[in-house]
Amino acid sequence: MNPLLTKLKDRFPDAVLAVREEGPYKDLVAQVKPSALPAIARFLHDDPETAFDMLSDILSVDYPEDEDRFEVIYQLKSLPRNHRLRLKARVPEDNPTIPTVTSVWKGANFLEREVYDLMGITFAGHPDLRRILLPEDYEEGHPLRKDFPAEGRGWRSTFPFLPRLDEPASPAVAAGEIPEEQHRPFLKEAEGLPEDAQPVRRQEELLLNMGPQHPATHGVLRVVLELEGERIVKATPDLGYLHRGVEKLCEGLTYQQIIPHTDRLDYVCSMTNNYAYVRAVEKLLNITVPPRAEYIRTIVAEMQRIIGHLFWLGTQALDIGAMTVFFWTFREREVLLDLFEKLCGARLTLNYYRIGGVDSDFTPDLVQRLHAFLDTFPDHLREYDDLLLTNRIWLARTKNIAVISAEDAINFGCTGPVLRGSGVAYDVRKAEPYGAYDKVEWEVPIGKNGDTYDRYWVRLEEMRQSAKIIRQCLQLLPDGPIIADVPQVIPPPKQKVMRDMESLIHHFIIFTQGFKPPKGETYCASEAPKGELGFFIVSDGEPKPYRLKIRSPSFVHLGAFDHMARGYLIADTVTIFGTYDIVMGECDR
């Protein structure tokens, strides 16, 4: 038994119900009483031996058959000790209440709101328990509960406002004019003002809506700013405009059907999403990937990181007002996208990774073009440096803007460049190496001040490191198969399907029913360009996941938005959106 679990059990003999190591990878799990949660959380956070300073994720699973219906799961991560723990607590259906842990980890604020929203579990003592992804007046219940139909309530073609494809078109609404009645409410209000309502000079805080349709919000995000003059007093992000219920959707799909859906989470970097997801499934199935596939995966993921960071650099510079950088970064991005297109036939939604390997192999032509790109890439990075690195406008807009200290960043659960900009050298690729990352040489760049400029610098440096990783991987690239040979799980090659009865049977079964992983649950984190992207899968032995939770960095980062925006100017909000590198598709899921 792991000493950590023993210690926890000894310290709280009554409150800790069970401790165990789960699965082939020995994930540490502790089942605790919900009432004792704050004390245990405090202990785990403060004790120097456990030192769980980061809360990766909170999620809940619904087991309608069980006595205590809901299970709330806390994924903890310790940066100094580099270990993880899954803390679980059960709450009954008639009183689904559990104490909040926001006093221990500030990042719990958004995560608990999400659980409240989607599963209907109340967190006693939470400072602001409202729905977060769904609209606040949503009355249909909590969609992640098992009694909520996976189809949704009423499906697409039963909504009267959506034309059905198999019916003739209804007569078009008269040429797009807004009818008079719809103007009324606004007019009435203006007319209804009392005659003597003279404007008086007064002082008050101003509420300003930023978004959802604002070009710099990187998608559809609305932030309600409370202003004093131009200074931000409080910023409340309002999410969920892009909520598609991917987690619920995945409960109705087989494991390999989910891969194309992960493309659409962070649509700027879909390779790394694919990677994070297939790694989680492979961990669940406990299959090993052939070495060539590992190298190809690493190369492709790093290409995607360069693309993601180039995209970020261009848009952040554009938000701040530098136009040229945007065009130039897109020029380089295009080269890599062309390579992706050659490799797998798509540019953005790639669907390239497969469970157990990858879809297609590198061709010599592709490798050569990649080398050519790597040869010129440092020069291009130098060009961006010429434009930005010491530019006084850029410095004025980024230095000392949105500063977050290392402790706060960890406490909010920030990961990726946002955390490293504050000087914390945490990178999943180093801390829990996967792929070929432990076979090549590279460094984790870190910043000092935790401001926007440092995060910019960290990302630029990461691109250089990525280029270095790709170069080494290309040199080391071994020969061999690109997909593992596990006929129960991985569809056999097409040529065999055409010739071999047994392959044909496997092929039919995998595509009609899907494969059945063993019962169990697993959490697997990978380093996406935006931060730690984690997939948590609960399998009940069926071909479809019982519950799939996506820990998306953008969502967690937005939890720190209020903290980072306070005291800065309105004009800085776009900088702050940009500095997280948020993508709302991933944030809202």
Partner 1 sequence: MAVAQWVKTLTFYEILVGMKATITVLIQRIILRNRKAITLQYPHEKRELPGTYRGMIALLRYDDGTDKCVGCDLCESACPSRVITVISSEVEGEPMKRYAKEYYMDMTRCLFCGLCVQACPVDALAMTTEYEWAKYNKRDLRLNKEQLLALGDRNFPVREKKLEFQHPNVAYFNIGHKNLPPKES
The contact set with partner 1 (CB under 8 A) reads: 163, 165-166, 169, 253, 256-261, 263-264, 324, 331, 334, 341-346, 349, 351, 360, 383, 386-392, 491, 494-501, 504, 507-508, 511-512
* DSSP letters spanning 367-407: HHHHHHHHHHHHHHHHHHIIIIIT-HHHHHHHTTSS---HH
Q: Minimum distance between the CB of residue 31 and partner 1, rounded to whole angstroms? A: 35
CB of 269 to partner 1, least distance (A): 17
Whichever of 260 and 423 has its CB closer to partner 1, that residue is 260
Inter-helix orientation angle 291-320/452-476, to 10°: 150
- Give the chain's radius of gyration (CA, Å): 25
Nearer to partner 1, 12 or 267 (CB): 267
Q: What is the dihedral of CA 395, 396, 398, 400, to 10 degrees?
A: 110
Residue closer to partner 1, measured from CB, 22 or 386: 386
Residue whose token pair is 């799939």:
548
Q: Which is nearer to partner 1, 169 or 193 (CB)?
A: 169
Q: How far is the CB of 401 from partner 1 (least distance, A)?
A: 19
Token look-up 């060539």 returns 292
Eight-class DSSP state of 496 = H
Q: Give the nearest distance from C-beta 498 to partner 1 in angstroms.
A: 5
Burial call 282-319: b when 16+ CB within 10 Å, e when fewer: bbbbebebbbbbbbbbbbbbbbbbbbbbbbbbbbbbbb
Q: Which residues pair with 32 in a beta bridge?
A: 16, 89
Burial (CB count <10 Å: 0-12, 13-18, 19+), residue 222: middle
| 253 within 8 A of 152, measured Cβ to Cβ | no
Least distance in angstroms from the C-beta of 136 to partner 1: 29
Is the CB of 438 or the CB of 502 nearer to partner 1? Answer: 502
- In three-state secondary structure terms, 343 is helix
Cα 173 to Cα 491: distance, rounded to the nearest angstrom: 49
Nearer to partner 1, 431 or 497 (CB): 497
Q: Write down the H helix ranges in 120-202.
A: 180-191
Give the Cα separation of 186 and 76 in Å (integer). Answer: 50
212 vs 260, beta carbon nearer partner 1: 260
Instruction: Specify the residue, 238 or 263, whose C-beta has the smaller distance to partner 1.
Output: 263
Provide the minimum distance between the beta carbon of 278 and partner 1 in the complex, in angstroms, as a whole number: 14
Q: Which is nearer to partner 1, 78 or 398 (CB)?
A: 398
Of 295 and 394, the one with the shorter C-beta distance to partner 1 is: 394
Q: Are strands 70-78 and 54-62 parallel, antiparallel or unpaired?
A: antiparallel
The CB-of-373 to partner 1 minimum distance in angstroms stands at 14
Shortest Cβ 166–partner 1 spacing (Å): 7
- Identify the CA nearest to 209 among candidates 570, 561, 569: 570
User: Which residue carries 């200074």 as its tokens?
Assistant: 231
For 162, counting Cβ atoms within 10 Å of its Cβ (0-12 exposed, 13-18 middle, 19+ buried), the class is exposed
Q: 31 or 349, CB closer to partner 1?
A: 349
- Least Å distance, CB 257 to partner 1, is 4
Distance CA 440, CA 262 (A): 28
Q: Helix 452-476 to helix 570-580 angle, to the nearest 10 degrees?
A: 20
Cβ at position 69, least distance to partner 1 in Å: 30
Nearer to partner 1, 351 or 573 (CB): 351
DSSP conformation letters of 438-489: TTS-------SS-SHHHHHHHHHHHHHHHHHHHHHHHHH---S-SB---TTT
Q: How far is the CB of 167 from partner 1 (least distance, A)?
A: 9
Task: State the nearest-atom distance from the C-beta of 490 to partner 1, in Å.
Answer: 11
Interhelix angle 37-46/3-11, nearest 10 degrees = 130
DSSP summary character for residue 483: B
Please state, in angstroms and rounded to a whole number, the distance separating the CA atoms of residues 292 and 509.
27
Give the whole-angstrom CA distance, residue 560 versus residue 553: 11
Report the distance separating Cα 177 and Cα 174, nearest Å: 7
Given the complex with partner 1, which of 116 and 277 has the nearer CB atom?
A: 277
> Least distance to partner 1 from the beta carbon of 394, Å?
9
- Which CB, 23 or 493, lies closer to partner 1? 493
Q: Give whole-number Cα distances, 548 to 255, 277, 281, in Å.
A: 10, 10, 11
For the chain, the first-to-last Cα distance in angstroms comes to: 37
DSSP 554: H
For residue 397, the minimal CB distance to partner 1 (Å) is 14
Q: Where do the H-state alpha helices sit in 120-235?
A: 180-191
